[in-house]
Structure 1
Amino acid sequence: MALFTESADVSVRPAQPEDVEAVTDVQLAAWRLSHDGVLGEQVMDSLDVPRMREQWAAAITAPPGPGFAVFVACNRADVVGFAAVGPGQLVALEVLPSEQRSGHGSRLLSAAVDRIRSDGAQEFSTWVLDEDPAREQFLAGAGLGPDGRRRSLATGVRDVTESRWSATL
C-alpha cells in the first residue's frame, strides 16, 4: 500500500520568517563539517549565533534590495538546506551534513540560478573558501569554474583565502 502525503517529500521554496533558526542551524552544522579545518575551532567557537540569526532574519524579511532572496530546501516539512542570492551572485549555499548528496544542493542551486537569471543577469559567481574540495567538485559539476579572482578575509584569528567561481547563464 502506498503512503501519500500532502506535500512533496523534497522541495525548495522561498524562506519564511519561521525558517531563521533552521537556516542558522544548517549554516553552523555545514560550516563545522566543511570549514572547521580551514577556519579553525577558535573561529567556529567564536561565531556570534544570535547575530547570525538577526542577519538571516533581515535577509529573509527585509532584503537589502532587488535581486536578493533566500531559499530553503525541505525534506518533508524540515528545512535541510538554504541558498542566498544577490544580484548576479550566489552568496551562500549550505545543506545539513546528514542530508548532503541527496539532491538538495542541486535543487537549491537551480532555484538560485533561476532567480539570478530572472533578474536579468547573464553570468553569476560565488566565492569558495580554499581547501573545500567537496564544494569545488559540486560547483564544477554544475558548470562553474574558477575565474582567477581571489580574496583574503580576516577572521580575527587567522586570514583565509577564497577563490571566485563563475559561469555564464
Structure 2
Amino acid sequence: MTDAPRTADSCRLALPREAERLAAIQRRSWQQLMPPDVAAHILGSVDLETMAQSWAAAITRPPLASMRVLVAIAEGRPVGFAALGPSDDEDAHPGSDALVAEFIIDPPAQRQGHGSRLLNAVADTLRADGFARATWWVRSTDDPLRRFLESAGWGADGAHQSLGTSDEAATVKMIRMHTALSDS
C-alpha cells in the first residue's frame, strides 16, 4: 500500500466554507499571543459562530473589491490567513497604501514556512492591486513578529497607537510597520 500523494503547500483566496476554520485559528492565535486577561476579555465577548459569520461575509461580500482574505494551505486545509485591503489610516495615501489587517498562522503550524509563503502572497496580491506601500499594525511586545517582518524588508515607520476595549478593561500598544511594494 502506498501513501496518498501529499498536497503541495500553497496560498490562495479563502473559500466561504473555510470561514469557521479561520475563526477557530484566530481564536487559538489570540489565546497564544495576547496577555491572558486581554484574550479572556475579547474571546468572552464573541463566540466562534459569530466570528465565522464575519469571516464568511468578508470572503463573500467584502465592502471593496480590493479587500481580500488569503489562506495558507497545508495538507489541503487552511493553516493560516491574511486579511488585506486599502489602508484606513488618517495619513494613508488613498489608492497607494494598503493595510494587512490580520495575519495569523495557526500555532501548531508555525515555523514551517507557511508565514513566509503567505507574506509573499500578500505582497504579490497588493502589488497586483496597484498598491505601492503596505502597512501593518503590530503589538509593540510581539518581538518574534517584528523580527519576521524586518527580515522580510519591513520596518517601523514611527506611528503608534493604543487599542482598547470600550470599557478599557484591556489595552494593547501597537506600532506600525511598513514596506514598499514597488519593484523599483
Which residues of 2 match residues 111-130 of structure 1 at below 5 A? 111-130=121-140
Correspondence for 1:19: 18
Which structure 1 segments of 5+ residues have no match? none
TM-score normalised per structure 1: 0.90
1:141 and 2:151 correspond: yes
Show CA shifts across 1:12-67 (max 9, x none).
11100110011111111111111134725333333343322121111101111021
1:161 and 2:173 correspond: yes
Change (3 A) 1:53 1:150: same
TM-score normalised per structure 2: 0.83
Correspondence for 2:94: none
Q: How many equivalent pairs are there?
A: 168
1:152 and 2:162 correspond: yes
Change (3 A) 1:2 1:145: farther
Among 69, 91, 102, the alignment partner of 1:92 is 102
Which structure 2 segments of 5+ residues have no match? 87-97
1:70 and 2:82 correspond: no
The range that moved more, 141-150 or 46-55, is 46-55
Rounded to whole Å, the distance in 2 between the matches of 1:13 and 1:64 is 20
Rounded to whole Å, the distance in 2 between the matches of 1:127 and 1:38 is 21
The range that moved more, 39-48 or 110-119, is 39-48
1:47 and 2:46 correspond: yes
Show CA shifts across 1:126-148 (max 9, x none).
10012111111111111111101
RMSD across aligned C-alpha pairs, in angstroms?
1.9
Percent same amino acid at aligned positions?
36
Show CA shifts across 1:81-131 (max 9, x none).
101111211111101111101010111111111111111111110100121
Rounded to whole Å, the distance in 2 between the matches of 1:38 and 1:11 is 35
Change (3 A) 1:27 1:20: same
